[in-house]
Amino acid sequence: MNDYEAILKAYELAGGDPSSLQFPQVGSLVVEEDKILSFNEVEGLVMEPERTQRGVKAKIVVKESCKIKNPVHLCFGVIPEEGTQEIIMEIILEDNSYVKLLAHCTFPNAVRVKHTMQAEIKIGKGAHLSYEEAHYHGPSGGIEVIPRAKVSISSGGRLTNSFSLIKGRVGVLDLDYDVQVEREGIAELIAKIYGRGEDRIKIVEKVSLNGENARSLIKSRIVVIDRAQSKVIGETYGNAPGARGHVDCMEIVEGKAKAQAIPKVSVAHSQAKVTHEAAIGRIDKRQLETLMARGLEESEAVDTVIKGILR
């Protein structure tokens, strides 16, 4: 099996559809360790990937007023048991453009792998970036993933971001996103993660609502079992009139796992409003009993509730 076939197989494990990478009308970028295996541009989408010493640097630009019809597929992976991959991304959405990026990060055999991502994302006026990132880390937990993103959303722009790591082991995840939102801009950050074994999860998501009527939602759904640990810090700063932000964190803890939620909300303008809710603990007893009263065993009821939360 060559590198390309191997990464396609791994891509599928992360939830990707390999056949979509074959279509000329679908934008894509496929990277294994520091090798650019393929990339495909479509009208309105410019990609400039280049190999670096320990990974890949890629610039992705969506041209002004271009709405990219099909989701653009990004596949980053490391196939061997050991390795390092550093991704440096610059994503620019020019004014009034739209793109949906489906990023699949896959490390199916990881025993000692480190994956870092440094992203700088600029969303122009009235532009909309939908960024869905799904990870597959394999069963051993021998992986360290460190995503960092600095995002600026111009007036009327929008970011819809979801990060999902629910298949395989997490290993160590240290995610840190910083989002600045201008007038009428919208930021939605959703993270869904399932930690097992000795997994360690740290999420810091910070949104600054700097423009009038800017809005945001930070939503985290974390499940930790066995001896896994999670720490979620959701920060929202309402700095302008009409700014509205909400932080919603739910962490389910089973076994000897530990979870921590630290919502930080701050308002620097009398007409801004930021709210938060956090729930940490075991699965709600009533939910389990309702399902068990329909004939499910306790373990089936737990699985059903967790599956729903992480969907």
- 310 belongs to the binding site for another protein (CB under 8 A): yes
Q: Which is nearer to another protein, 123 or 165 (CB)?
A: 165
Residues 160-199 that bind another protein (CB under 8 A): none
Q: Which is nearer to another protein, 271 or 290 (CB)?
A: 290
Segment contacting another protein (CB under 8 A): 151-159, 170-178, 253-261, 278-286? 278-286
Residues 245-264 that bind another protein (CB under 8 A): 250
CA-wise closest residue to 190 among 174, 203, 201, 208: 203
Residues whose CB is less than 8 angstroms from the CB of residue 303 and which lie 6 or more positions away in sequence, other chains included? none
Least distance (Å) between residue 190 CB and another protein? 12
CA-derived radius of gyration, the chain: 20
Segment contacting another protein (CB under 8 A): 98-106, 183-191, 198-206, 288-296? 288-296
Q: Report the SS3 class of residue 17.
A: coil
Figure out which of the listed residues 1, 2, 24, 286 binds another protein, where binding follows CB under 8 A. 286
- CA-CA distance, 104 to 108, in Å (whole number)? 12
Please state, in angstroms and as integers, the Cα–Cα distance from residue 278 to each residue in 83, 135, 165, 226, following that order.
Answer: 37, 25, 20, 22
Quick note: the x/- pattern for another protein over 205-244, rule CB under 8 A, is: ----------------x-----------------------
Question: Is the Cβ–Cβ distance between 288 and 301 less than 8 Å?
Answer: yes
Q: Which is nearer to another protein, 84 or 304 (CB)?
A: 304
Please state, in angstroms and as integers, the Cα–Cα distance from residue 68 to each residue in 48, 129, 212, following that order.
Answer: 17, 10, 28
Figure out which of the listed residues 241, 266, 292, 303 binds another protein, where binding follows CB under 8 A. 292
Segment contacting another protein (CB under 8 A): 39-47, 55-63, 261-269, 279-287? 279-287
Figure out which of the listed residues 48, 50, 289, 303 binds another protein, where binding follows CB under 8 A. 289
Least distance (Å) between residue 289 CB and another protein? 6
Residues whose CB is less than 8 angstroms from the CB of residue 267 and which lie 6 or more positions away in sequence, other chains included? 237, 238, 273, 274
Positive or negative, the CA dihedral 227, 202, 301, 311 is negative
Question: Is the Cβ–Cβ distance between 21 and 30 less than 8 Å?
Answer: yes
CB atoms under 10 Å from CB of 162, counted, come to 15
Q: Which is nearer to another protein, 1 or 293 (CB)?
A: 293
- 277 belongs to the binding site for another protein (CB under 8 A): no
Q: How many residues belong to the site for another protein (CB under 8 A)?
A: 24
Residue ranges that bind another protein, judged by CB under 8 A: 221, 250, 284-287, 289-298, 301, 304-305, 307-311
